[in-house]
Structure 1
Amino acid sequence: MQIAETLNEGLKRAFMLTIPAKDIEAMVEAEVKKVAPQMRMPGFRPGKVPANLIRKMHGPALQQDALNSAIQDGVSKLVADNKFRPAMQPSVELTDGYEPGKDAEIKVALEILPDVPTPNIEGIKLDRLTVEPDEAAIDEQVNALVAQQKSFEDAPAKHKAATGDLVTMDYLGKVDGEPFDGGKGEDMSVEIGTGRLIPGFEDQLVGVKAGDEKQISVTFPEDYNAAYLAGKPATFDLVIKKVQTAKAATADDAFAKTLGLESLEQLRGLFKGQVEQELNGLTRTYMKRKLLDHLSETHSFDVPPSMVEAEFGQIWQQLEHEAGHEADPAAARAEMEKDRDDYRRIAERRVRLGLLLSEIGQAGGVEISQNEMNMLVNQAAQQYDPKDRERFVEYLRNEPMAQAQLRAPMYEDKVVDYLFSKAEITDRASTKAELEALIETEEGHVHGPGCGHDHIDEKPAKAKKAAAPKKAKAEESAPVEAEPKPAAKAKKAAAPKSVPSEVEGAEAAPAEKPAKKAPAKKKA
């Protein structure tokens, strides 16, 4: 095989590989000998089919396989002999005009990883802002949980329903005087004031009593999920079965015991532990940002353009998605365009930091153990239906790039911890408000290079301009849907965001890094 370099510019390399026809022919011959023992053909004993007949029947396929193998071997040899570390998969192209029996000329283009300068990790100084849990905040979370656990009791016969009461009814909905599909239900309960039903419905329940019959008028929202009802006026004939008033729970030991705990103090301790975990997370986020800023400011080297382009593509795709959920998507995209150059610089910084952290981790002996990798695989597999999990694990086993993407976040965190251990850290008391304000004015977070190397959770404040996707307005469903259960009957009523999992029995969410060719995830 002949190799001629055609480009050597920065991190870009290009070569012309010439694979002699005789080498390809030798590979075809070897393949014929390999498959001959398994070949069967009428008139010949198994394994005794002549080589010329095998060539006649399977020649084109064998020729193509041999050519592909020769190209793959040639590119592998090129990379190994030159000790290249490709940044991305090399581009390989067979020149026009190739015919079997002729030499094959192959154009190979690639970008190589740079020689990262020996990282300077000495003398790093960081502040660790520490925050004590706020007892008032813990009380607020306990009270929010208690408020969700209220029960309901039957109201006196003449009691008129008010906001906060639970009304149980039968209903019949009509549009243009005619019942509509799905518009009938019995024993539906709704707590007045929750806003769960279509606008205006709950307001007209105020003042009803058990035994009342009432007709109310509403208009379905223009964006209602049933197109045949969207924007249409409707009436509902109601028969009020029952009115119940709320009986608030009390934050005491008895309440804690209903959650399977021993005392109110134990419940407060769970919330306190969660608050401490949240505060520690904020502290770590701030320290990590400062660490990455320091590394970025003190290290500069060229990075492969293809990696930057791939990273920029990920950033842009995310922003496009978020802009699509804005009130004015066109305006949001126009705003993005103004900052396109800034986002490209962000992509370059991320790639550089990813390569730098990888170098630091290798020099410091940072590794992901097999047990840790097994844990990551098991977590990721939980996102799939049981029948697909084995196939997903098999996919990971055969895809080094997917494995690298899966372990990248953990590897990055371990490298950051390693750098923390080397840094001079000064503790300084702070408040949650101060810490959140500092983080807000710093740079936000998004996953970094999707290149198989370790990624960086980093992006500048400008990237926050696109709003998060809007939640679907499920609460605007008409009462034609399934009967809702009052909070009192829901033993595991939805708790506030910060309820400890020990109370709610919630499971930790698995890491979400699906592989591109992996089985489709299970539906939520």
Structure 2
Amino acid sequence: MQVTELSAEGLKRQFKIVVPAGDLSAKVDERLAELAQTATLPGFRPGKVPVGLLKKQYGQALYGEALEQAVNSSTAKAIEDRGLKPALQPRVDLKQLEEGKDVEFEVAIEVLPEIGKVDFSGVELERLKASVPDKDVDEAIERIAKANRDQKPVDPARPAQKGDSIKLDFVGSVDGKEFPGGAATDYSLELGSGSFIPGFEDQLTGAEVGKVIDVKVTFPADYGAAELAGKDAIFKCTIKELHEFVDKPADDELAKKNNFENLEAMRKAVSDRIGQDYSQISRSMIKRNLLDKLADLHKFPVPEGLIEGEFNAIWARIEEAKKNGQKLEGDEENMRKEYREIAERRVRLGLLLADVGRSNSIDVTPEELNQAVMREAMRYPGQERQVLEFYGKNAELKDQLRAPIFEEKTVDFILELAKVSEKSVTPEELLKAAREAEEDQHADGAPSTAP
């Protein structure tokens, strides 16, 4: 095998490789000898078929097999001998392919950049910390009590009013034609809940049991179903029952109904959950700030092929959103430029985090991967077993859960080395800061990384 380096510009490498015809012939002869030991053809005993006859019948296929093996193995050896780390699969271009002659082909690859040792001790970050005030717990308990209210029929009879629960049948139509998903039977609706499109519930206020009412509404311009967006519709509603809610006091009985020992235990659980929510928001913010700083501090070159792949994935989601009727701001040329910058940022951060993780022996344990599978299964109540079986049979799909775990562990590692100060804030200040960060952020800063 002869390897000639044709070019080396930035992260791109190109080689010409020549595989002698004799090497391929030897491989073909070797495979023919193996085949001759077991081959069967009419008129010959097993293992007694002449090699020349086998070559005539199978030679072309065996040559193709030998060629593929030679290209793959010689390409891998050329890369290994030079200590290169390909970012993507090498591109092979066959230049000379004729049986009996040397095979010539060119290999083009992009290699991963050398990132080098990274010092995180100079990275300064601020972690916002919010305590859980009693009023937040009180409001959450009130919501639980509201969700557990009893209902009783309105007696004596009266027209429906805001806060009542009505049971109704309805059939919706646009331009006199019914549409999919526009009808329901025995549907329970709390008036004033805002569950339906604007104007629907208001027109049911004052309705009486047994009455049929035509509710006229206009679907919002940004309605999820594009075929209904902005359209006028009429819903023929039949009022079947009218109930009013009976408030539940926040007491031990309410707590026990929700599987807590008493009200105090429920309040603690609620406080802990809210605290976890605040911690998660704070974590997301400091992670985003960290990634912003890392992106600004590290400007190493990024393989164009990886950028293109990431951009294509982003743009495919945009095209899908457009098909679903979502209107996007800005012209396509500027959007493509912006999202290509986002793609480059994501790839650069992904390479950086992957390199930091590998350099510091950060790995995902089988236990962590199994816990991720369990969390995924819990997202589908009643189908947990099927989800677990599905992941058990699909190792590649299960392995996709590895990347986000690896990323979080690497971020934790970096945060331990960075200079992190804490600032106490109110929940309102925390949420405001999170909203402002979201508005200012052009990229989501969530690179796809893997060990």
TM-score (ref. length: structure 2): 0.82
Tell me the alpha carbon deviations over residues 277-320 of structure 1, each in whole angstroms, 9 at most, x when there is no partner.
12222222233233334433433322222222223333333444
Counterpart for residue 444 of structure 2: 446
Counterpart for residue 519 of structure 1: none
Counterpart for residue 29 of structure 1: 29
Tell me the alpha carbon deviations over residues 351-405 of structure 1, each in whole angstroms, 9 at most, x when there is no partner.
3333222332233232222333444466668887677544412x46xxxxx94x5
Matched residue of 2:423: which SS?
A: strand
Counterpart for residue 485 of structure 1: none
Counterpart residue identity of residue 420, structure 1:
L
Matched, 1:268 2:267: yes
Tell me the alpha carbon deviations over residues 71-111 of structure 1, each in whole angstroms, 9 at most, x when there is no partner.
1111111111111100111111212x522222211110001
Counterpart for residue 278 of structure 1: 277
Matched residue of 2:99: which SS?
A: coil
Matched, 1:360 2:369: no
d(CA) in 2 for partners of 1:180, 1:421: 56
TM-score (ref. length: structure 1): 0.72
Matched residue of 1:126: which SS?
A: strand
d(CA) in 1 for partners of 2:173, 2:314: 48
Matched residue of 1:130: which SS?
A: strand
Matched, 1:429 2:424: yes
Question: Structure 1 pair 327/10, CA: closer, same or farther in 2 (3 Å)?
Answer: closer
Counterpart for residue 214 of structure 2: 217
d(CA) in 2 for partners of 1:299, 1:352: 8
For residues 144-155 of structure 1, the aligned pairs below 5 Å read: 144-155=143-154
d(CA) in 2 for partners of 1:298, 1:69: 43
d(CA) in 1 for partners of 2:441, 2:181: 49
CA contact (8 A) 2:402 2:450 kept: no
CA contact (8 A) 1:176 1:234 kept: no
Counterpart for residue 302 of structure 2: 303
Question: Structure 1 pair 31/120, CA: closer, same or farther in 2 (3 Å)?
Answer: same
Matched, 1:136 2:155: no
Counterpart for residue 245 of structure 2: 246
CA contact (8 A) 1:168 1:190 kept: yes
Question: Structure 1 pair 205/366, CA: closer, same or farther in 2 (3 Å)?
Answer: closer
Counterpart residue identity of residue 394, structure 2:
F
Question: Which deviates more from structure 2 when the two are superposed, residues 278-287 or residues 188-197?
Answer: 188-197
Counterpart for residue 507 of structure 1: none
d(CA) in 2 for partners of 1:352, 1:434: 32
Counterpart for residue 91 of structure 2: 91
For residues 506-521 of structure 1, the aligned pairs below 5 Å read: none
Matched, 1:408 2:403: yes
Question: Structure 1 pair 282/51, CA: closer, same or farther in 2 (3 Å)?
Answer: same
Q: Kindly tell me the number of residue pairs found equivalent between the two proteins.
A: 437
Counterpart for residue 394 of structure 2: 392
Matched residue of 1:296: which SS?
A: helix
Tell me the alpha carbon deviations over residues 401-447 of structure 1, each in whole angstroms, 9 at most, x when there is no partner.
x94x5422212221221222223332222233333444433536636
Question: CA offset at residue 188 of structure 1?
Answer: 5.3
Question: Structure 1 pair 345/217, CA: closer, same or farther in 2 (3 Å)?
Answer: closer
Question: Structure 1 pair 364/100, CA: closer, same or farther in 2 (3 Å)?
Answer: same
Question: CA offset at residue 209 of structure 1?
Answer: 4.6
List alignment gaps of at least 5 residues for structure 1: 397-401, 455-524
Matched residue of 1:163: which SS?
A: coil
Question: Structure 1 pair 69/251, CA: closer, same or farther in 2 (3 Å)?
Answer: same
Tell me the alpha carbon deviations over residues 166-201 of structure 1, each in whole angstroms, 9 at most, x when there is no partner.
334678999999999999987554444446568776
d(CA) in 2 for partners of 1:224, 1:424: 45
Matched residue of 1:34: which SS?
A: helix
d(CA) in 2 for partners of 1:344, 1:180: 40
Question: Structure 1 pair 407/187, CA: closer, same or farther in 2 (3 Å)?
Answer: closer
Question: Structure 1 pair 427/232, CA: closer, same or farther in 2 (3 Å)?
Answer: closer
CA contact (8 A) 1:166 1:189 kept: yes
Tell me the alpha carbon deviations over residues 29-84 of structure 1, each in whole angstroms, 9 at most, x when there is no partner.
22222333342222222232222222222222211111111111111111111111
CA contact (8 A) 1:157 1:209 kept: no
Q: Which of 313, 320, 333 pairs up with 1:337?
A: 333
Question: Structure 1 pair 19/406, CA: closer, same or farther in 2 (3 Å)?
Answer: farther
Question: CA offset at residue 348 of structure 1?
Answer: 2.8
Considering only aligned residues, what root-mean-square deviation do their CA atoms show, in Å?
Answer: 3.8
d(CA) in 1 for partners of 2:337, 2:224: 40
Counterpart residue identity of residue 46, structure 2:
P
Paired-residue identity, %:
34
CA contact (8 A) 1:172 1:185 kept: yes
Question: Structure 1 pair 90/376, CA: closer, same or farther in 2 (3 Å)?
Answer: farther
Counterpart residue identity of residue 2, structure 2:
Q
Question: Structure 1 pair 52/219, CA: closer, same or farther in 2 (3 Å)?
Answer: farther
d(CA) in 2 for partners of 1:340, 1:125: 33
Matched residue of 1:349: which SS?
A: helix
d(CA) in 1 for partners of 2:52, 2:249: 90
Question: Structure 1 pair 205/376, CA: closer, same or farther in 2 (3 Å)?
Answer: closer
Matched residue of 2:155: which SS?
A: coil
List alignment gaps of at least 5 residues for structure 2: 381-385
CA contact (8 A) 1:163 1:193 kept: yes
Matched, 1:419 2:414: yes
